[in-house]
Amino acid sequence: MTLRLYQDHVYLKECLSTVLAITNDNCLVLNKSLFFPTGGGQPCDLGTINDLLLAEVFEKSGEVYHRFQKAPPFKVGDEVTCKLDWDLRFDHMQRHCGEHILSGIFFSMLGGVNRGFHMGNDYMTIDIDLPAVTMETALRVELASNEVIWSDVPVSVRYFSRREEAEKLPLRKEITVEKDISVVCVGAEANPADCVACCGTHPSTSGQIGLIKLLKIENYKGMSRVYFESGKRAFLHTVKEHQLISALAEKYSADENTLGAKISAQEDKNQLLRQDLQKYRELLIEREVQALCDATSLPSEEPSSSPQVIVKEYEHLSLEDLQQLAKALSAISPNFFILIALNEKALLISRAINTVPGAPDFGGLIKANVASFNGKGGGNSSSARAAFQSLADLDEFVQHTVGLLIDGVEPLKSFA
């Protein structure tokens, strides 16, 4: 069995060990190990053995395995130098112990028990078995948790051979194993900030955690899922947020106190601008309807009973605007309209419903032809739309369509 140095010598960063076994999946078993194996929601330690990088450390059937990417060049009995990746270990200790304190305070302040823990790369979560904990309540828990950090109380680990012995401590959660139990207490055993069975690695005092920062809360299966970060990562998170707020404040010529109000004022202004813009669009469409109707019934022209094909390009109107324009036109004009939204490389083809007996089916026309011009589209018999990969494709499609339509109707009349 490997002597687990990380249990009693959590600050030991280097040691000499002897190789006890080598497995055919590139793993070493050592007589003593610095490296914590993945377990209890805490990721494994990493580091080097004789300067070879470890890929993973895990536990199987009570033994610790040190795995490498490739077969390691060792033999049983070799003495090897183990070096711990201390930055990674300390990061795990700060995060893991932060989770202890936050869970302990949720328990002591609200009676909520941590039923799930996740330590991800971007944040950690705990699932507290209380429904709908509000942010306001959670912020009180956050403050009390940070007060535990600032009081810099000892974090102690005690080992018990029997469950009954361990259960004399004020545990936050039931113990589920019978023997070889380690119990971690943050603060004095008589009145701890947290006390729970745990096999992970912890700093010797709470002050080393530095900071706990709550990020958000959401409902999860009738519980409250709390997102948070602790240690250096919590600090870096606040740095990132401060940079973001500073950049926003500069953009809005505000400071942290006035930023919210300035953003709201800008939103109100934008809302008014959007309303104005909508009014002008409607006016523009109204005028365009009139212009198109006037232009297609010039006094010099012979009055005509057959529909004309009107093609017009628009630089500043969207396909949605053209839809409104076409709707208004089809109510008062017997003509066929091909309206082009240049910015979107798209067009709309429209006519009044039942203009003339045997009027063309525009949806069918687009479906049958558009793919040959690298376009996509469809619609109903009196109104259809299509979008193209290029304006050249669109232009060719228009010429082709006009060619189809003028057979039986008046020649093309374009005002583009």
Binding site for Zn ion (CB under 5 A): 184, 198, 200
Nearer to Zn ion, 7 or 381 (CB): 7
* Contact yes or no for 358/380 (Cβ under 8 A): no
* Contact yes or no for 334/304 (Cβ under 8 A): no
Nearer to Zn ion, 200 or 377 (CB): 200
Q: How many residues does the chain have?
A: 416
The residue sitting closest to Zn ion, measured at its beta carbon, is 198
Q: How far is the CB of 186 from Zn ion (least distance, A)?
A: 9
Q: How far is the CB of 100 from Zn ion (least distance, A)?
A: 5
Nearer to Zn ion, 156 or 324 (CB): 156
Q: How far is the CB of 97 from Zn ion (least distance, A)?
A: 7
Q: Using alpha carbons, select from 74, 3, 61 the residue that is nearest to residue 34.
A: 3
Nearer to Zn ion, 184 or 309 (CB): 184
Nearer to Zn ion, 7 or 369 (CB): 7
Alpha carbon distances (Å) from 325 to 16, 258, 386, 391 = 82, 44, 16, 21
Half-sphere exposure of 21 (CA within 13 A, CB side): 10
Q: How far is the CB of 122 from Zn ion (least distance, A)?
A: 21
Q: How far is the CB of 213 from Zn ion (least distance, A)?
A: 19
Where would I find the beta strands (DSSP E) of 104-193?
A: 114-119, 124-128, 155-160, 181-186
Q: How far is the CB of 252 from Zn ion (least distance, A)?
A: 44
Nearer to Zn ion, 209 or 214 (CB): 209
Long-range contacts (CB closer than 8 Å, 24 or more residues apart) made by 399-406: 400/369, 400/373, 401/338, 401/349, 401/365, 401/369, 402/309, 402/311, 402/338, 404/360, 404/365, 404/369, 405/309, 405/336, 405/360, 406/309
